[in-house]
Amino acid sequence: MSEKYDILIVDDNPQNLKVLGAILIEAGYGIHIAQSGEQALKAAETMRPDLILLDIMMPGMDGYEVCRRLKADALTEHVPVIFLTAKIEEEDVVQGLELGAVDYVTKPFNAAILLARVKTHVRLGVHQRLLFEQSNIDALTLLPNRRRFDSVLAAAWRKALHGELPLALVLLDVDYFDSFKDVLGSSEGDDLIRWLAALLDEAVLVSPHFLAHYGGKEFAILLADTGLQAAVEFAETLRLSVLDAEVAHPASPLGAYVTISLGVASLQAQAALDASDLVKAADQQLILAKQHGRNRVYPSP
């Protein structure tokens, strides 16, 4: 294989791990192992394997539950899952496939069949990921687009419903962007949006939040487990970073440089509300930031 693909093997039986690992290593795959459902979820989220081989019968969290959680998490929903099952009852296999697994192999393993299925699904998975990325990445900034943002927000909201921690959202846009383009041209406008995308991308690397290009001159940053005060402070650091960069704006009534306005909202997810309520609340704050003079975070700390 010219490119090395990583496979996560999940089985509570060390002997199975050994046999599977040997077959896959021999075929040129990179191998990671987990011996429980909990370990599997953690490994899947951090290493993003190209494929997961998942035992169904495990003590504690079984393979069905692991699959359900993998598919409910935006970080892992697209990783193909093949079930390892000792049971050949059709009913069980159907249940597994309905949870989003792509295939299954029965124990004891036939190396040739196993490798054929692994190869097929790694290849399909790579194609699917490419398609997925093309429809979820904004071509101008190479950031996740609004469509991707909506699905990440929905997943984060579902997760937050079960917890105590709030979700926060920062919506921001460039002040007087139309005048900027009117004077410098739309190509310079594109450059400015790309520049801002890179600046924001670096800022979210430091504090791991989800950044998306919301469209046009607007960006969204979702902050999990974050209350209003912390979100406002984060937003303020973004505002200052843009200001401190001193990017020339030839037509801003606010001064010589490019500035941004930011709306911040934080909500405790609850059944009576919807994820879109968080967006509406942040959007309302962004409008207020504009109305109160721009180049500010609203509500101001």
Phi, psi for 41 (deg, rounded to 5): -65, -40
Which span sits near Mg ion by CB under 5 A: 40-48, 51-59, 75-83, 198-206? 51-59
Residues of span 133-172 touching Mg ion by CB under 5 A: none
What one-character DSSP code corresponds to residue 4? P
Count Cβ neighbours within 10 Å for each residue of 285-296 and write b for 16 or more, e otherwise. Answer: bbeebbeeebbb
| Interface size with Mg ion, residues (CB under 5 A) | 4
Choice between 54 and 171, CB closer to Mg ion: 54
Question: Residue 216 corresponds to which amino acid?
Answer: G
* Nearest distance, CB of residue 11 and Mg ion, angstroms: 6
* Nearest distance, CB of residue 37 and Mg ion, angstroms: 11
Closest C-alpha to 299, from 235, 242, 247, 246: 235
Confirm if 44 and 70 have CB atoms less than 8 A apart: yes
Choice between 85 and 259, CB closer to Mg ion: 85
Q: How far apart are CA 126 and CA 132, in angstroms?
A: 10
Question: Residue 33 corresponds to which amino acid?
Answer: I
Choice between 16 and 252, CB closer to Mg ion: 16
Choice between 12 and 283, CB closer to Mg ion: 12
* Nearest distance, CB of residue 60 and Mg ion, angstroms: 11
Which span sits near Mg ion by CB under 5 A: 26-34, 57-65, 91-99, 163-171? 57-65
Residues of span 4-23 touching Mg ion by CB under 5 A: 12
Which residue has 């109160």 as its token pair? 292
Residues making up the chain, counted from first to last? 301
Confirm if 278 and 167 have CB atoms less than 8 A apart: yes
How would you classify residue 189: left for phi > 0, otherwise alpha for psi between -120 and 50, otherwise beta? alpha
- The single residue among 50, 55, 138, 175 that binds Mg ion, judged by CB under 5 A, is 55
- 106 forms beta bridges with 85
Helix (H) or strand (E) holding 166: none
Choice between 55 and 138, CB closer to Mg ion: 55
Choice between 99 and 168, CB closer to Mg ion: 99
Per CB under 5 A, does 66 bind Mg ion?
no
- The single residue among 27, 31, 57, 154 that binds Mg ion, judged by CB under 5 A, is 57
Choice between 12 and 175, CB closer to Mg ion: 12
Give contact residues for Mg ion (rule: CB under 5 A). 12, 55, 57-58
